[in-house]
Amino acid sequence: MIDKSIFYNPSRIISFNALLNLIIGERGVGKTYGLKIYGINRFLNKGKQFAYIRRYETDLDESVGNTNDNKFIEQVKKEFPNHTFKITKSKKVRRLYIDDKIFGYALPLSSADSLKSSSYENVDTIIYDEFMLKEGSTQHYLKNEPEIILDLIETIGRLRDIRVYCLANAISSTCPLMSYFDLTLPYNTDIKLFKEGTIAVEYIKNLKYREVKKASRFGKLIEGTKYGKYAIDNEFLTDSKSFIRKKDKNAKFYFILYVNSRTYGIWRDFKNQYIYISSDIDPNCPIKFAIHEEDHTESTVYAKVRTNFWFQQIINHYRKARLCFESQAIKNLFMQELKNYLNY
Protein backbone atom coordinates (compact mmCIF):
# COMPACT_ATOMS: atom_id res chain seq x y z
CA MET A 1 0.00 0.00 0.00
CA ILE A 2 1.33 3.44 -0.97
CA ASP A 3 2.02 5.86 1.86
CA LYS A 4 -0.52 8.68 1.35
CA SER A 5 1.76 11.18 3.08
CA ILE A 6 3.95 11.37 -0.05
CA PHE A 7 1.16 13.07 -2.00
CA TYR A 8 0.43 16.78 -2.20
CA ASN A 9 -1.43 18.42 0.68
CA PRO A 10 -2.92 21.86 -0.11
CA SER A 11 -3.11 22.94 3.54
CA ARG A 12 0.08 25.04 3.33
CA ILE A 13 -1.02 27.25 0.44
CA ILE A 14 -4.54 27.48 1.90
CA SER A 15 -3.00 28.92 5.06
CA PHE A 16 -1.75 31.97 3.11
CA ASN A 17 -5.36 32.98 2.52
CA ALA A 18 -4.69 34.36 -0.97
CA LEU A 19 -7.58 34.98 -3.35
CA LEU A 20 -5.83 33.59 -6.45
CA ASN A 21 -3.52 30.58 -5.97
CA LEU A 22 -1.40 29.04 -8.74
CA ILE A 23 -0.14 25.55 -7.89
CA ILE A 24 2.46 24.00 -10.20
CA GLY A 25 3.81 20.50 -9.63
CA GLU A 26 4.97 17.26 -11.16
CA ARG A 27 2.46 14.86 -12.69
CA GLY A 28 0.70 12.49 -10.32
CA VAL A 29 1.71 14.26 -7.11
CA GLY A 30 -1.96 14.68 -6.18
CA LYS A 31 -2.74 18.36 -6.84
CA THR A 32 -6.23 17.79 -8.27
CA TYR A 33 -7.07 14.96 -5.91
CA GLY A 34 -6.02 16.95 -2.85
CA LEU A 35 -8.14 19.97 -3.81
CA LYS A 36 -11.17 17.80 -4.60
CA ILE A 37 -10.98 16.15 -1.20
CA TYR A 38 -10.55 19.57 0.41
CA GLY A 39 -13.66 20.83 -1.40
CA ILE A 40 -15.83 17.90 -0.37
CA ASN A 41 -14.70 18.06 3.24
CA ARG A 42 -15.41 21.79 3.26
CA PHE A 43 -18.96 21.09 2.14
CA LEU A 44 -19.47 18.37 4.76
CA ASN A 45 -18.04 20.54 7.55
CA LYS A 46 -19.17 24.03 6.56
CA GLY A 47 -21.84 23.56 3.92
CA LYS A 48 -19.79 25.48 1.32
CA GLN A 49 -19.75 24.38 -2.31
CA PHE A 50 -16.99 24.56 -4.94
CA ALA A 51 -16.81 24.95 -8.72
CA TYR A 52 -14.49 22.66 -10.68
CA ILE A 53 -13.37 24.32 -13.92
CA ARG A 54 -11.75 22.99 -17.08
CA ARG A 55 -11.06 25.00 -20.21
CA TYR A 56 -13.40 23.15 -22.61
CA GLU A 57 -16.46 20.92 -22.43
CA THR A 58 -14.40 18.04 -23.85
CA ASP A 59 -11.98 18.41 -20.91
CA LEU A 60 -14.88 17.91 -18.49
CA ASP A 61 -15.98 14.80 -20.39
CA GLU A 62 -12.52 13.41 -19.81
CA SER A 63 -11.96 14.42 -16.18
CA VAL A 64 -15.47 14.46 -14.67
CA GLY A 65 -17.63 12.30 -16.90
CA ASN A 66 -21.40 12.59 -16.83
CA THR A 67 -24.46 10.82 -15.48
CA ASN A 68 -23.42 7.53 -17.10
CA ASP A 69 -19.67 7.73 -16.58
CA ASN A 70 -18.88 9.23 -13.17
CA LYS A 71 -15.10 9.59 -13.37
CA PHE A 72 -15.01 12.35 -10.78
CA ILE A 73 -16.94 10.22 -8.28
CA GLU A 74 -14.87 7.09 -8.87
CA GLN A 75 -11.73 9.03 -7.97
CA VAL A 76 -12.95 10.31 -4.60
CA LYS A 77 -15.67 8.03 -3.25
CA LYS A 78 -13.23 5.67 -1.51
CA GLU A 79 -12.33 8.56 0.82
CA PHE A 80 -16.00 8.84 1.84
CA PRO A 81 -17.27 5.24 2.20
CA ASN A 82 -20.35 6.21 4.23
CA HIS A 83 -21.71 8.61 1.62
CA THR A 84 -23.40 8.26 -1.77
CA PHE A 85 -22.49 10.30 -4.84
CA LYS A 86 -24.09 11.12 -8.17
CA ILE A 87 -23.78 13.58 -11.07
CA THR A 88 -26.49 15.29 -13.08
CA LYS A 89 -26.00 17.46 -16.16
CA SER A 90 -28.04 20.36 -17.52
CA LYS A 91 -26.72 21.95 -20.69
CA LYS A 92 -22.99 22.39 -19.97
CA VAL A 93 -23.18 22.45 -16.17
CA ARG A 94 -22.64 19.27 -14.17
CA ARG A 95 -23.99 19.17 -10.62
CA LEU A 96 -22.10 17.03 -8.14
CA TYR A 97 -24.11 15.44 -5.31
CA ILE A 98 -23.23 13.80 -2.02
CA ASP A 99 -26.15 12.24 -0.13
CA ASP A 100 -28.52 14.00 -2.58
CA LYS A 101 -27.11 17.44 -1.75
CA ILE A 102 -25.14 19.52 -4.25
CA PHE A 103 -21.55 19.90 -3.06
CA GLY A 104 -20.14 21.30 -6.28
CA TYR A 105 -20.45 22.20 -9.94
CA ALA A 106 -18.28 21.30 -12.92
CA LEU A 107 -18.16 24.02 -15.58
CA PRO A 108 -16.25 24.75 -18.82
CA LEU A 109 -14.38 28.06 -18.79
CA SER A 110 -15.20 28.51 -22.48
CA SER A 111 -18.88 28.93 -21.57
CA ALA A 112 -18.31 31.13 -18.51
CA ASP A 113 -20.05 34.15 -20.06
CA SER A 114 -23.37 32.25 -20.05
CA LEU A 115 -23.31 31.54 -16.30
CA LYS A 116 -25.61 33.31 -13.88
CA SER A 117 -24.24 34.25 -10.47
CA SER A 118 -27.55 33.53 -8.71
CA SER A 119 -26.91 29.82 -9.11
CA TYR A 120 -23.64 29.85 -7.18
CA GLU A 121 -24.28 31.96 -4.09
CA ASN A 122 -23.00 29.14 -1.85
CA VAL A 123 -19.78 28.55 -3.82
CA ASP A 124 -16.69 29.93 -2.08
CA THR A 125 -13.97 27.86 -3.81
CA ILE A 126 -13.02 27.58 -7.49
CA ILE A 127 -10.64 24.88 -8.74
CA TYR A 128 -9.32 25.51 -12.27
CA ASP A 129 -7.54 22.36 -13.38
CA GLU A 130 -4.73 22.22 -15.98
CA PHE A 131 -4.53 25.95 -16.57
CA MET A 132 -1.28 25.46 -18.52
CA LEU A 133 -1.24 23.89 -21.97
CA LYS A 134 1.52 21.72 -23.37
CA GLU A 135 3.34 23.10 -26.40
CA GLY A 136 2.04 21.39 -29.53
CA SER A 137 -1.31 20.62 -27.93
CA THR A 138 -4.31 20.56 -30.26
CA GLN A 139 -6.02 22.89 -27.78
CA HIS A 140 -5.41 26.59 -27.42
CA TYR A 141 -5.71 29.13 -24.65
CA LEU A 142 -8.94 31.08 -24.83
CA LYS A 143 -8.66 34.58 -26.25
CA ASN A 144 -8.17 36.97 -23.31
CA GLU A 145 -8.22 33.93 -21.00
CA PRO A 146 -6.99 35.74 -17.86
CA GLU A 147 -9.86 38.21 -18.10
CA ILE A 148 -12.34 35.37 -18.67
CA ILE A 149 -11.05 33.81 -15.44
CA LEU A 150 -11.45 37.11 -13.61
CA ASP A 151 -14.96 37.52 -14.99
CA LEU A 152 -15.83 34.01 -13.77
CA ILE A 153 -14.51 34.87 -10.29
CA GLU A 154 -16.72 37.95 -10.23
CA THR A 155 -19.73 36.05 -11.60
CA ILE A 156 -19.49 33.40 -8.90
CA GLY A 157 -18.11 35.43 -6.03
CA ARG A 158 -19.45 38.96 -6.55
CA LEU A 159 -18.34 40.74 -3.38
CA ARG A 160 -17.99 37.55 -1.35
CA ASP A 161 -14.55 36.41 -0.19
CA ILE A 162 -13.82 33.33 -2.31
CA ARG A 163 -10.65 31.36 -3.10
CA VAL A 164 -9.40 30.25 -6.52
CA TYR A 165 -6.90 27.41 -7.00
CA CYS A 166 -5.36 27.04 -10.48
CA LEU A 167 -3.55 23.73 -10.94
CA ALA A 168 -0.99 22.70 -13.55
CA ASN A 169 1.79 20.28 -14.32
CA ALA A 170 5.20 21.84 -14.86
CA ILE A 171 4.65 22.58 -18.55
CA SER A 172 6.23 26.03 -18.83
CA SER A 173 7.45 28.77 -16.52
CA THR A 174 5.10 31.21 -18.25
CA CYS A 175 1.52 31.20 -19.47
CA PRO A 176 -1.16 33.85 -20.14
CA LEU A 177 -2.39 33.93 -16.54
CA MET A 178 1.10 34.35 -15.06
CA SER A 179 2.00 36.95 -17.65
CA TYR A 180 -1.17 38.94 -17.06
CA PHE A 181 -0.17 39.57 -13.45
CA ASP A 182 3.62 39.54 -14.09
CA LEU A 183 4.05 36.52 -11.82
CA THR A 184 7.30 34.62 -11.42
CA LEU A 185 8.14 31.30 -9.82
CA PRO A 186 9.29 31.17 -6.21
CA TYR A 187 12.99 30.43 -5.77
CA ASN A 188 14.68 29.33 -2.54
CA THR A 189 11.17 28.69 -1.20
CA ASP A 190 8.02 26.94 -2.34
CA ILE A 191 5.45 29.76 -2.18
CA LYS A 192 5.73 33.38 -3.29
CA LEU A 193 3.13 36.12 -2.72
CA PHE A 194 2.18 38.94 -5.08
CA LYS A 195 -0.13 41.99 -5.09
CA GLU A 196 -0.25 42.47 -1.33
CA GLY A 197 -0.88 38.79 -0.65
CA THR A 198 -3.91 38.44 -2.96
CA ILE A 199 -1.96 36.05 -5.23
CA ALA A 200 0.15 33.06 -4.21
CA VAL A 201 2.31 30.94 -6.52
CA GLU A 202 3.40 27.51 -5.28
CA TYR A 203 6.09 25.47 -7.01
CA ILE A 204 5.78 22.03 -5.42
CA LYS A 205 8.98 20.41 -4.13
CA ASN A 206 7.80 17.03 -2.85
CA LEU A 207 11.03 15.07 -2.41
CA LYS A 208 9.35 12.02 -0.85
CA TYR A 209 7.06 11.62 -3.85
CA ARG A 210 9.96 12.02 -6.27
CA GLU A 211 11.98 9.28 -4.57
CA VAL A 212 9.04 6.85 -4.67
CA LYS A 213 8.37 7.63 -8.33
CA LYS A 214 12.04 7.27 -9.27
CA ALA A 215 12.06 3.81 -7.68
CA SER A 216 9.05 2.63 -9.72
CA ARG A 217 9.48 0.71 -12.98
CA PHE A 218 8.18 3.68 -14.95
CA GLY A 219 10.56 5.94 -13.05
CA LYS A 220 13.47 3.76 -14.10
CA LEU A 221 12.22 3.83 -17.70
CA ILE A 222 12.22 7.64 -17.91
CA GLU A 223 15.32 8.20 -15.75
CA GLY A 224 17.69 10.67 -17.40
CA THR A 225 15.21 11.72 -20.09
CA LYS A 226 13.68 15.15 -20.63
CA TYR A 227 10.30 13.64 -19.79
CA GLY A 228 11.70 12.21 -16.58
CA LYS A 229 12.90 15.62 -15.46
CA TYR A 230 9.39 16.92 -16.11
CA ALA A 231 7.36 14.06 -14.63
CA ILE A 232 9.56 13.44 -11.59
CA ASP A 233 11.79 16.45 -10.91
CA ASN A 234 9.18 19.09 -11.76
CA GLU A 235 11.38 20.72 -14.39
CA PHE A 236 9.44 22.58 -17.03
CA LEU A 237 8.83 20.42 -20.08
CA THR A 238 8.76 23.05 -22.81
CA ASP A 239 11.24 25.60 -21.46
CA SER A 240 14.48 25.78 -23.43
CA LYS A 241 17.42 28.14 -23.09
CA SER A 242 17.93 28.31 -26.85
CA PHE A 243 17.69 31.82 -28.31
CA ILE A 244 17.84 33.40 -24.83
CA ARG A 245 20.55 36.01 -24.69
CA LYS A 246 21.09 39.50 -23.28
CA LYS A 247 21.40 42.17 -25.94
CA ASP A 248 24.89 43.23 -26.98
CA LYS A 249 26.22 46.72 -26.27
CA ASN A 250 26.11 47.35 -30.01
CA ALA A 251 22.33 46.87 -30.13
CA LYS A 252 20.30 49.96 -31.01
CA PHE A 253 16.61 50.47 -30.37
CA TYR A 254 14.66 49.55 -33.50
CA PHE A 255 10.93 49.84 -32.83
CA ILE A 256 8.09 49.11 -30.38
CA LEU A 257 5.75 46.18 -30.94
CA TYR A 258 2.43 45.66 -29.13
CA VAL A 259 1.21 42.05 -28.99
CA ASN A 260 -1.67 40.73 -26.87
CA SER A 261 -1.68 43.73 -24.53
CA ARG A 262 2.07 43.51 -23.95
CA THR A 263 4.77 45.93 -25.06
CA TYR A 264 8.04 44.67 -26.54
CA GLY A 265 11.15 46.62 -27.36
CA ILE A 266 12.80 45.43 -30.57
CA TRP A 267 16.54 46.03 -30.64
CA ARG A 268 18.89 45.41 -33.57
CA ASP A 269 22.63 44.78 -33.61
CA PHE A 270 23.58 45.61 -37.20
CA LYS A 271 27.21 44.68 -36.62
CA ASN A 272 26.53 41.08 -35.58
CA GLN A 273 23.17 40.79 -37.37
CA TYR A 274 21.04 40.02 -34.31
CA ILE A 275 17.57 41.21 -33.31
CA TYR A 276 16.66 41.15 -29.63
CA ILE A 277 13.16 41.01 -28.14
CA SER A 278 13.25 42.84 -24.83
CA SER A 279 11.11 44.41 -22.14
CA ASP A 280 13.32 47.50 -22.43
CA ILE A 281 11.73 50.18 -24.61
CA ASP A 282 12.37 53.73 -25.70
CA PRO A 283 8.97 55.38 -25.08
CA ASN A 284 9.95 58.27 -27.37
CA CYS A 285 10.46 56.00 -30.37
CA PRO A 286 7.97 57.06 -33.07
CA ILE A 287 7.88 53.64 -34.75
CA LYS A 288 5.14 51.66 -33.01
CA PHE A 289 3.33 48.67 -34.48
CA ALA A 290 0.31 46.59 -33.48
CA ILE A 291 -0.55 43.34 -35.24
CA HIS A 292 -3.94 42.78 -33.58
CA GLU A 293 -6.86 45.14 -33.67
CA GLU A 294 -7.28 45.11 -29.88
CA ASP A 295 -3.71 46.46 -29.49
CA HIS A 296 -4.17 49.19 -32.09
CA THR A 297 -4.41 52.79 -30.80
CA GLU A 298 -4.03 56.31 -32.15
CA SER A 299 -0.26 56.07 -31.68
CA THR A 300 0.36 52.77 -33.51
CA VAL A 301 0.50 51.57 -37.08
CA TYR A 302 -1.78 48.57 -37.64
CA ALA A 303 0.61 46.23 -39.44
CA LYS A 304 -0.25 43.45 -41.85
CA VAL A 305 2.21 40.78 -40.86
CA ARG A 306 2.47 39.28 -44.34
CA THR A 307 3.71 42.53 -45.87
CA ASN A 308 5.11 44.57 -42.98
CA PHE A 309 8.85 45.06 -43.50
CA TRP A 310 9.61 45.53 -39.80
CA PHE A 311 7.85 42.36 -38.61
CA GLN A 312 9.27 40.38 -41.52
CA GLN A 313 12.72 41.29 -40.19
CA ILE A 314 11.84 39.46 -36.97
CA ILE A 315 10.65 36.38 -38.86
CA ASN A 316 13.72 36.31 -41.11
CA HIS A 317 16.12 36.70 -38.20
CA TYR A 318 14.44 33.80 -36.38
CA ARG A 319 14.78 31.59 -39.45
CA LYS A 320 18.47 32.46 -39.64
CA ALA A 321 18.96 31.84 -35.88
CA ARG A 322 19.64 35.53 -35.34
CA LEU A 323 16.64 36.32 -33.12
CA CYS A 324 17.22 36.42 -29.36
CA PHE A 325 15.01 36.92 -26.30
CA GLU A 326 16.22 38.58 -23.14
CA SER A 327 14.35 36.20 -20.82
CA GLN A 328 12.57 32.85 -20.75
CA ALA A 329 9.25 34.59 -20.11
CA ILE A 330 9.62 36.88 -23.12
CA LYS A 331 10.56 33.93 -25.32
CA ASN A 332 7.65 31.77 -24.22
CA LEU A 333 5.11 34.54 -24.72
CA PHE A 334 6.48 35.91 -27.97
CA MET A 335 6.96 32.50 -29.58
CA GLN A 336 3.28 31.70 -29.02
CA GLU A 337 2.56 34.53 -31.45
CA LEU A 338 5.52 34.17 -33.79
CA LYS A 339 4.70 30.54 -34.60
CA ASN A 340 1.51 31.73 -36.27
CA TYR A 341 3.54 33.46 -38.97
CA LEU A 342 6.57 31.25 -39.64
CA ASN A 343 4.98 29.69 -42.73
CA TYR A 344 4.33 33.05 -44.34
pLDDT tens profile 107-150: 999 988 777 666 788 999 999 999 988 755 667 888 889 999 99
pLDDT at 50: 95
The predicted-structure confidence for 224-240, as pLDDT tens digits, reads as follows 665 555 454 555 545 56
Q: For the chain, which residues score pLDDT lower than 50?
A: 230, 232, 237
pLDDT at 335: 79
pLDDT at 216: 67
Domains of the chain, earliest start first: 4-231 (3.40.50), 252-338 (no CATH)
Contact between 154 and 126 under an 8 Å Cβ cutoff? The reply is no
Using left for φ > 0, alpha for ψ between -120 and 50, and beta otherwise, residue 21 falls in beta
274 DSSP β-pair partners: 269
Half-sphere exposure of 16 toward its Cβ, with a 13 Å CA cutoff? 23
pLDDT at 4: 65
Alpha carbon distances (Å) from 48 to 33, 98, 125, 274: 18, 13, 8, 56
Amino acid at residue number 168 = A
What is the rounded CA–CA span in Å between residue 326 and residue 12?
Answer: 34
pLDDT at 237: 47
What is the rounded CA–CA span in Å between residue 128 and residue 107?
Answer: 10
